[in-house]
Amino acid sequence: MADWRTELQRILAALSDDASKGAIALMSRAVERLDRREALQFITEAFPEFISTYIAAAGDIGTTVYEDLPGGVDGFTAVTAALPAVEQLAANGRYMLLAPTTTVIQGVITRLVNGGVRDAQFANLAAEYGDPAILADPADSLGTLWARHASANACGFCRMLATRGAVYTSAEAATSVVGRGVDLTVSDQRAIAMGQMTRAEARERRSVYRNAAHAARQGAQVGDRRKSGRTRGIRPLGDKFHDHCHCIAVPVRPGSSYQPAPYVEQWQKDYEDARDAIPPGTDYRAVPKLISAAMDKTAAARTAAANPPKPVDPLQDVRRTAGRDLVADLAAINPKWMSGRQWQVNCTRCAAAVELRARGYDVTAEPRPDAVRDNGYASVLSRWTSPDGTPAGQGGGLHATRATVPDGEVLGMSTGSRIWDFLPARGRGKVNQAKRAADEAVSQWGDGARGFITVEWSKAAGGGAHIFNVENRGGKIVYLDGQSNEIDASGHWDRIKTTGGSCRIVRTDDLTPTKRVMEWTSERTDDDRLLAERKAARLAKIAAQTSVPAPAGLDGLGQSPTKWPPIPHITYPKYTRVGEDGIATSTVFTGADGKPEPLPDLSKMPGHVLYGWRDDDPHPHQVGDRRGHRFDSERKLASLFPESWSDQKIVDAVRAAIEDPDRAMPPGPEGRTVRKVVDGVLIQVTWSKVNEVVLDSVEAYPVRGKGVAKIGRDGSRQPIDPKTRQGDKRFTEVRRNDR
């Protein structure tokens, strides 16, 4: 049976993890849908209510733990601690919003949740002994001591401190960096030895200024508490002794003693052996580090002897039993790609999901909210373990060029901790050289090998960066993009930046996934499977329309997309420029063959723009739905066309923006985005492309202009400031092909 303190750690970690995920989602919603002022106001109101539930749960846990502690006053009934002030919680929420990284959010949430347990323990100490002063410092008032409890797999430093037992005078001192306490004089020590005062009483006397002259020199008055002394070590006050420390402070009530966990007995022996091995004359400041390092080494040797290495499957609960199907795999990766920005900037998650599905895991990619910045090179590899057992990317470096790869190694395949390698892409004409180097490396990896490719897009392609997958399939090198569901992503090489370091490669099929991969992916639900089936059917259609052979496994995949009813009161718009083959083409964009690019089918555009219909919407589509961009829409945060505009005018204006745009974003691999002013209203339209095939998914909305409004979170309609210039810098004036 697990030690109760270890179980408490596990429960708090799970509670903090759940709260962190909710907080990240909350911050993301605010960032994606609101401007800065609105987001701050929203978080100020929403975050305290959200986090209070978790703090209250932690407080209940702390109260239960306190009741079960030995010692105390007979007949005492535990109490519930008050929640932190709403203003304090709101300030924490605003801080996370303005510093939106996963590490910051997880750190704040963990502190608040653990604080719920601590507050409950302090409140019960105060209630039990009838002294409110306990809330300021329980040790000074009652002589209560604290012990540091570390889990069985803690680091050497935490194990070393846990061997000290109940010697800490505060919860903070047991688990974090505090200033050194006041020094006791010889007379204090003598009085304690003679029983004239307790150590707590002596410390209390020395903790306040009793001499006016001494107090004045520090800008204080008689009776003020002395400031804590210099910190222990180099970390700031209040910090954990090291990052990701999960040690907890256990209170030892007056009249009871502390019984450490059973495994601490072995730590005590390790500590004594490490201490005895330190050479005489060693600088005392180096002793703690030497002891903790020795304890780490001893524990590692003991673990290795007891647990010889063996293959592990850390994600075994999400294995799928069906065989691998390339089309089904791609369709399952990111089926909500057109549902919003967070599904269009999640390429790191998609690459991880492609690799996991190749191994048989039934997962789909998670979105990446704008509030989360965890898509760096190191973050990608940190979720995997190298073949030698070390964390991937641990080396931290990269091979600069093909020529610098050590003898015996293959590009993208380091012999130690797996790290990225650069592909040569510097200078004009080097794009094909980068692809040739990648082809050669993956060929040398062997049949069935897989890897990640990262590229930086050229300015003409819109800039930014991307990650996709490469695979050796029977000697043929295949490039796959799970984010945009591209069966053949080799066209990415035509859009990369030709500068040193813009392209990188790493082999992945021989890496071991860690639990952290599941932060980027999740097990598929029935809704995910339905969306994937529909997407697989569309991919099959795309494959049939291109020169890319349709991969095996298309038969029986999916249903036809949701059937959209007709809209009887409008005339469906038609393009004015249609070729003899019946295909409408752009006056702006050209395809890879140099010919005018086909325009998207308009049959579904009115239903989506007017009523918010979507293929992946489980609700029945009805004329009169209020989820689109008509002025009577009820969809929160939607921008609305002017009330004076008829439905016919709206769909005709969107058609005009597609066919004859004024400005456009640089073309990217995922699709097109254009803008056009119609009767004083700026309209933005986006449509999708896969493998140079234009899809029939068109999204359009008014950006600003006379009569344009936006629905707030409270459902009210507010005019959009016509002076706003959000996103304007990303668009440039178009050049038409026929002028």
CB 513 within 8 A of CB 356: yes
Q: Which DSSP helix (H) or strand (E) runs through 477? A: strand 476-480
Dist CA 417 CA 610 (whole Å): 54
Determine which of 13-17, 130-134, 538-542 has the lowest per-residue pLDDT on average: 130-134
Which one, of 29, 37, 33, 46, lies nearest residue 100 by Cα?
29
Gap between the Cα atoms of 533 and 516, Å rounded: 27
Give the H/E segment covering residue 672: strand 671-678
Please, which contacts does 88-96 make with residues 24 or more away whose CB atoms are closer than 8 Å? Answer: 89/47, 89/48, 89/51, 89/52, 90/43, 90/44, 90/45, 90/47, 90/48, 92/47, 92/51, 93/43, 93/44, 93/46, 93/47, 93/48, 93/51, 94/40, 94/43, 94/44, 96/23, 96/27, 96/43, 96/47
Query: Which two tokens mark 417?
Result: 């901790």
Q: What is the pLDDT of residues 410-457, one digit of tens each?
A: 666 665 678 888 887 655 555 578 888 899 999 999 888 999 999 988
Structure tokens at 26: 């909350």
Q: Which of 147-151, 297-301, 621-625, 630-634 has the highest mean pLDDT?
A: 630-634
536 token code pair: 């697989």
167/169 Cα distance (integer angstroms) = 7
Element (H, E) at 205: helix 199-206
pLDDT at 108 over 50: yes
Check residues 684 and 270 and name the one with the higher pLDDT. Answer: 684
Handedness of CA 353, 354, 355, 361 (dihedral sign): positive
Instruction: Name the DSSP class of 179.
Output: B
- HEC string of 67-90 equals HHCCCCCCCCCCCCCCCCCHHHHH
Distance CA(144)–CA(709), nearest Å, equals 61
Q: CA torsion 260→265→266→269, rounded to 10°?
A: 130
pLDDT tens track for 490-518: 888 888 887 767 888 999 998 989 888 88
Mean residue pLDDT of the chain comes to 75
CA gap 300, 287 in Å, rounded: 20
Give me the pLDDT at residue 355, please.
Answer: 93
Kindly tell me if the per-residue pLDDT of 738 is higher than 50.
no
Beta carbons within 10 angstroms of residue 301's beta carbon = 10
- Encode pLDDT of 211-259 as tens digits: 777 777 777 777 777 665 444 443 343 444 444 456 666 666 666 666 6
Neighbouring-strand partners of residue 733: 663
- Give mean pLDDT, residues 649-671: 86
Beta strands per DSSP E along 137-233: 145-149, 166-168
- How confident is the model at residue 320, as a pLDDT? 65
Indicate if the pLDDT at residue 616 is higher than 50.
yes
Half-sphere exposure of 596 (CA within 13 A, CB side): 17
Least confident of 398-407, 457-466, 498-507, 728-737: 398-407
485: left (phi over 0), alpha (psi -120 to 50) or beta: left
| Distance of alpha carbon 182 from alpha carbon 203, whole angstroms | 7
Phi/psi at 263 (5° precision): -75, -10
Three-state secondary structure call for residue 588: strand
